[in-house]
Amino acid sequence: MPDLVQFAQSLVNGVGVGLIYGLVGIGFCVIYNASGIVNFAQGVFVMLGGMVCHALLSKLGLPMIVAAVLTVPIVALAGLAIEFLVVRPMWDRGAALFAIILATLATQIAIERLTILTLGDQPRTYPEFTLGGPLKLGSIAISYQLFWILGCGSLMVVLLWLFFTRTTAGRALRACSQNREAAALLGIPVSRMLMLSFALSAGLGAVAGILVTPMQVTAYNIGTPFGVNGFIAAIIGGFGSAAGALAGGVLLGVLQALAIVLLGAGFKNVAALSVLLIVLFLFPSGIFAALQGSKGH
């Protein structure tokens, strides 16, 4: 039977990974709100974030901060490319929902294979941003990277909140999420909003990937697990709310960490996917939405 320290330790780790899931989940919501599209290639941005940052560090020898700051716009460009080459042509032709999903899935496979060909298929990692950890609280070890994740994660949420409430572009995006036709009638360039949402969402994914890589490894195939877990986080949060997605991510991360303690690491993805199916079956509109609904009645 695992002891209390182990439990506490796994809770700490779960919060860290959960915040990352939350960021990915917010990425899902940003695109979904702007367009009604769920981008199944969302996890690819996390993968690219880690891989590009590692390539900049190891191949160009850039300092960490420069590499991290450069990675975000590079991955955002990749997001724009997906929007321009794959999603927009289908969007303009009024393609069926599942056709767009399929196309983003195919894009993910293509990007993964291209990553293998250009950067290789070996898992890699880089050191934590601040060396010298972990911080010891009794027997619980807290890695300094966790504070970076906490700090950058909250910074992202604050920035997003400011963006969505204080800027014209952010307000326009929110208008699109409420009613695209009405937004278009009011003169909001809805299709440019789609572009913006992909760049934003890709940038968020890149931040998540850069932050999480020192805690684990990155490789061409980490996209799907992060994408699926981010999706679960977004669903738990009711799909559409950034705060909900972040809370959902932390909840999922902690649940997963506990599942690892109890069941072993091997089946952690199976556990997460089962959680996904159970949540979908029980609360097709999200747990928080379901709670609010029951309060209302």
Q: What is the rounded radius of gyration, in angstroms, for the C-alpha atoms of the chain? A: 19
**Cβ atoms of 24 and 156 closer than 8 Å:** no
| Closest by Cα among 203, 182, 172, 223 to 77 | 203
Burial of 282 per CB tally in 10 Å (0-12, 13-18, 19+): exposed
CB of 274 to another protein, least distance (A): 7
- One residue of 5, 60, 77, 109 binding another protein per CB under 8 A: 109
Rule CB under 8 A: which of 168-227 touch another protein? Answer: 224
Contact predicate 176/33, CB 8 Å: yes
Binding another protein by CB under 8 A: which of 60, 155, 182, 280? Answer: 280
- Least CB distance to another protein at residue 114 (A): 6
Q: Scanning residues 79 to 98, which ones bind another protein (CB under 8 A)? A: 85-86, 89-90, 93, 95-98
And the tokens for 28?
Answer: 């899902």
CA distance 149 to 152: 5
Q: How far is the CB of 234 from another protein (least distance, A)?
A: 10
Smallest separation (angstroms) from another protein to the CB of 102? 6
Minimal distance, residue 284 CB to another protein, in Å: 6
Choose the stretch contacting another protein; rule: CB under 8 A; options: 16-24, 134-142, 201-209, 266-274: 266-274
Residue type at position 169:
A
Q: Which of 268, 252, 209 is nearest to 22 (CA)?
A: 252
Residues that bind another protein (CB under 8 A): 38, 40, 85-86, 89-90, 93, 95-103, 105-107, 109-110, 113-114, 117, 224, 228, 231, 235, 266-267, 269-270, 273-274, 276-277, 280-281, 284
